[in-house]
């Protein structure tokens, strides 16, 4: 039985990937595409927060909101000018995939040029640790957990009790019927892309104090949240949440037990899941 510290770590891991995975699934369920650039929005969000705090001296929540707005807008631009053009009839999923993959290079290169090569950090934000006897947890990580809870609740409310949310869910279930009921699917996907990227940016913001900030920090979270949504089932929001919880705990427990083999185990697990039950644990099977 791993020590409590590992389980806490697993919980934090799950929270880290949950917000990102949620955003990805949201985008997937409306636009029907995997946004491979998601990790880079996470990275950009972290940078915005960094400069918000280090340069402009704003408090963390404020700069997180700002980064959510900015990066959400950026995501909308990407949707408007790139994704929308590549999801018309006759386009396979390949075009969007390649375009978003190319955007990875674009954003990483751009931020590499803008922000320089030195790693950045925000250790001064929420310093200190909460001592729990056998182990201790930093306030930054506790903040991550709280943030994730807030986001999840907020998303639940938005999706269930607001007009936008209802429109989103309608469009997700049946675009045609939704458009017949006067919901512009185009607008909805724009909004959803904004929300998804905003979530990614906020995740990056809340993670900025915890980890190192550099232009390439987006890759691992991207892959991890991708694996998470596959475990949970592509296109299912509950799936995203459960998937990232499973992944988070698996990740730290396996790493604790088997060290670096964890990587291999995760990929194998994903392949098996996709072969046995492609729609994942919670996904509705789309034949």
Partner 1 sequence: MKRSYSVAIILVIALILLGIFAIASAQKPAQAQTSEANIVKIGLPMPLSGPASPWGLIPTPFREAWIEVFNREGFDVAGKNYKLKLIQVDDQNSSEGGAAAAKQLIYGDGCKFFAGHWSWNFPAVAAVTNPAKVIFVTRTGNQALPKSWGGLYDPKTMPYVVFGSPSEEIFIANVFALVKKFPESKQLGMLDCTLGAGAGWDQVFDVLKKAGIKYHMERFPLGTTDFAPYITRFREAGCKVVYIAGWVGETMQFAKQRWEMGYKDMVVGSSGPFVNIDMYNTVCGHDAAQGLIGQYWAPWDYKKTKVNPKYIAMCREALKIAAQKTGKPYEYTGEIGWVPSHTLILVQAMQKAGTVTDTDAIMKAIRGGTFDTTAGKWTMSGAKTYGSPVVFGSPSALCEIKGDKEVYLTEDPTPPLL
Partner 2 sequence: MKAYIDYKNVVPKTVIGLMIFLIVLVPVMTSNMATLSMIILSGVWAIAVMGFTLVLRTGQFSMGQAAFMAIGGYTSAVLTFKLSMPFWPSFFLAGIVSGVVALLIGSVVLRVGGTYFSIITLALCEIVRIVAQEWEPVTDGARGLMTSPPPTIALPGFEINFAASPVPYYYFMLVLVAVTSLVFRQIGRSRMGGTFFGIAANPTLAEHQGIRLMKYRVIAFTVAGVFTGFAGSFYAHFLSVISPVMLGLWQSIQIMMMSIVGGVGSLVAGPLIGALLLYAFGIYVSRLPVFNIQYLLFGTVVVLVVIILPKGTGLVDLWDRFWRKVVWREKEFEFEEVEE
| Interface with partner 2 (CB under 8 A) | 34, 81-82, 85-86, 88, 90-95, 97-99, 101-110, 112-113, 117, 215, 226, 230, 234, 263-264, 267-268, 270-271, 274-275, 278
Residue 2: strand, helix, or coil: coil
Nearest-5° Cα angle at 243, 99 to 18? 70
CA distance 240 to 243: 5
- Residue closer to partner 2 (CB basis): 181 or 277: 277
- Residue closer to partner 2 (CB basis): 109 or 127: 109
Per partner kind, with CB cut-offs from 5 to 8 A, the member of partner 2, partner 1, none near residue 179 is none
- Residue closer to partner 1 (CB basis): 43 or 155: 43
From the CB of 146, what's the least distance to partner 1, in Å? Answer: 17
CA distance 190 to 193: 5
From the CB of 33, what's the least distance to partner 2, in Å? Answer: 9
Q: Which residues sit at the interface with partner 1, rule CB under 8 A? A: 2-3, 5-6, 9, 12-13, 108-109, 112, 116-124, 127, 129, 131, 135-138, 140-141, 211-212, 214, 216-217, 219-220, 223, 251-253, 255-256, 259-260, 262-263
Per partner kind, with CB cut-offs from 5 to 8 A, the member of partner 2, partner 1, none near residue 271 is partner 2
Cα Rg for the chain, rounded, in angstroms?
19
Per partner kind, with CB cut-offs from 5 to 8 A, the member of partner 2, partner 1, none near residue 73 is none
CA distance 280 to 257: 26
Per partner kind, with CB cut-offs from 5 to 8 A, the member of partner 1, partner 2, none near residue 171 is none
Provide DSSP, 169-212: HHHHH-HHHHHHTT--HHHHHHHHHHHHHHHHHHHHHHHTTTS-
Residue 158's CB is within 10 A of a number of other CB atoms, namely 14
User: Torsion angle of alpha carbons 193, 194, 198, 201, nearest 10°?
Assistant: 60
Please tell me what DSSP assigns to residue 79.
Answer: I
**For residues 229 and 22, is the Cβ–Cβ distance under 8 A?**
no
- Residue closer to partner 2 (CB basis): 73 or 109: 109
């Amino acid at each position: 039985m791993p020590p409590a510290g590992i389980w806490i770590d697993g919980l934090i891991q799950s929270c880290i990937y949950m917000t990102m995975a949620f955003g990805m699934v949201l985008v997937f369920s409306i636009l029907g595409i995997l946004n491979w650039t998601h990790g880079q929005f996470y990275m950009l969000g972290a940078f915005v927060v960094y400069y918000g705090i280090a340069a402009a001296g704003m408090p963390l929540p404020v700069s997180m909101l700002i980064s959510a707005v900015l990066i959400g807008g950026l995501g909308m631009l990407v949707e408007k000018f790139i994704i929308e053009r590549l999801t018309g009839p006759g386009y396979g999923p390949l075009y969007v995939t390649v375009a978003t993959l190319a955007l990875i290079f674009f954003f990483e290169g751009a931020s590499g040029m803008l922000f320089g090569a030195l790693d950045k950090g925000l250790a001064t934000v929420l310093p200190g640790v909460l001592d729990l006897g056998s182990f201790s947890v930093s306030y930054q990580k506790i903040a991550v957990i709280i943030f994730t809870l807030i986001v999840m609740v907020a998303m639940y409310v938005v999706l269930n009790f607001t007009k936008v949310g209802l429109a989103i869910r309608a469009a997700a279930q049946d675009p045609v019927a939704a458009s017949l009921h006067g919901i512009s699917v185009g607008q909805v996907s724009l909004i959803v892309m904004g929300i998804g990227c905003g979530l990614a940016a906020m995740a990056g913001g809340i993670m900025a104090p915890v980890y190192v900030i550099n232009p390439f920090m987006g890759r691992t979270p991207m892959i991890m949240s991708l694996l998470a949504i596959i475990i949970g089932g592509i296109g299912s929001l509950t799936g995203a949440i459960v998937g990232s919880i499973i992944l988070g705990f698996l990740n730290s427990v396996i790493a604790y037990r088997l060290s670096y083999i964890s990587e291999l185990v995760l990929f194998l697990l994903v392949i098996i899941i996709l072969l046995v039950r492609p729609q994942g644990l919670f996904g509705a099977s789309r034949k």
